[in-house]
Structure 1
Amino acid sequence: MARDDRDERARDAVVLPLASASHRLHGAVARDLGIAILAGRYPPGAVLPGEIAASESFSVSRTAYREAIRTLSAKGLVESRPKAGTRVSERGRWNLLDPDILAWAFETEPGEAFIRDLFELRQIVEPAAAELAAQRRTDADLARMARALDGMARHGLAVPAGRAADQSFHHAILEATGNAPLIALSSSVAAAVTWTTIYKQRRRALPRDPLPEHRALLEAIAAGEGAPARARMAELIRLALADTEWSMVE
Structure 2
Amino acid sequence: MPTPVKKGDVPRSEDDKSAIAPESSRGSGRRLRGAVAHYLGTAIVSGRIAPGETLTGEVANAEALSVSRSAYREAVQVLTAKGLLESRPRAGTRVLPRSRWNILDPTLLAWAFSGEPDINFVRDLFELRAIVEPAAARLAAARRSKEDLKAMKDALGAMRRHTLATEAGRIADRDFHEAILAATQNSALTALTASIGAAVNWTTQFKQRMRALPRDPLPGHVRVYDAIAAADADAAAAAMHTLVDQALEDTRAAITNLAADRE
Taking structure 1 as the reference length, what is the TM-score of the superposition?
A: 0.88
Q: After alignment, is 185-194 or 197-206 more displaced?
A: 197-206
- SS of the aligned residue for 1:87 comes to strand
Aligned twin of 2:156? 149
Aligned twin of 1:3? none
Where do 5+ consecutive residues of structure 1 fail to align? 1-13
Match of 1:16 among 17, 21, 30: 21
- SS of the aligned residue for 1:79 comes to strand
Q: 1:241 to 1:41 in 2, by over 3 A?
A: closer
Question: What's the offset of the Cα at 1:189?
Answer: 1.0
Is residue 20–residue 39 contact of structure 2 (8 Å, CA) maintained in 1? Answer: no
Distance in structure 2 (CA, Å) of the matches to 1:52 and 1:59: 10
- The aligned amino acid for 1:221 is I
- SS of the aligned residue for 1:212 comes to helix
After TM superposition, what 4+ stretches of structure 1 lie above 6 angstroms from structure 2? 19-23
Q: Deviations over 1:42-64 (max 9, x none)?
A: 21111112111111122221111
Aligned twin of 2:41? 34
Distance in structure 2 (CA, Å) of the matches to 1:241 and 1:131: 20
Taking structure 2 as the reference length, what is the TM-score of the superposition?
A: 0.84
Structure 2 residue 52 is the aligned partner of structure 1 residue 54? no
Structure 2 residue 124 is the aligned partner of structure 1 residue 117? yes
Match of 1:127 among 134, 145, 165: 134
Q: How many residues get paired? A: 237
Where do 5+ consecutive residues of structure 2 fail to align? 1-18
Structure 2 residue 204 is the aligned partner of structure 1 residue 197? yes
Match of 2:236 among 225, 229, 232: 229
Aligned twin of 1:170? 177
Distance in structure 1 (CA, Å) of the matches to 2:116 and 2:249: 19
Structure 2 residue 188 is the aligned partner of structure 1 residue 210? no
When the two chains are superposed, the root-mean-square deviation of aligned CA atoms in Å is 2.2
Question: What's the offset of the Cα at 1:205?
Answer: 5.0
Is residue 62–residue 69 contact of structure 2 (8 Å, CA) maintained in 1? Answer: yes
- SS of the aligned residue for 1:158 comes to coil
- Trace 1:2-13 onto structure 2 (pairs within 5 A): none
Aligned twin of 1:138? 145
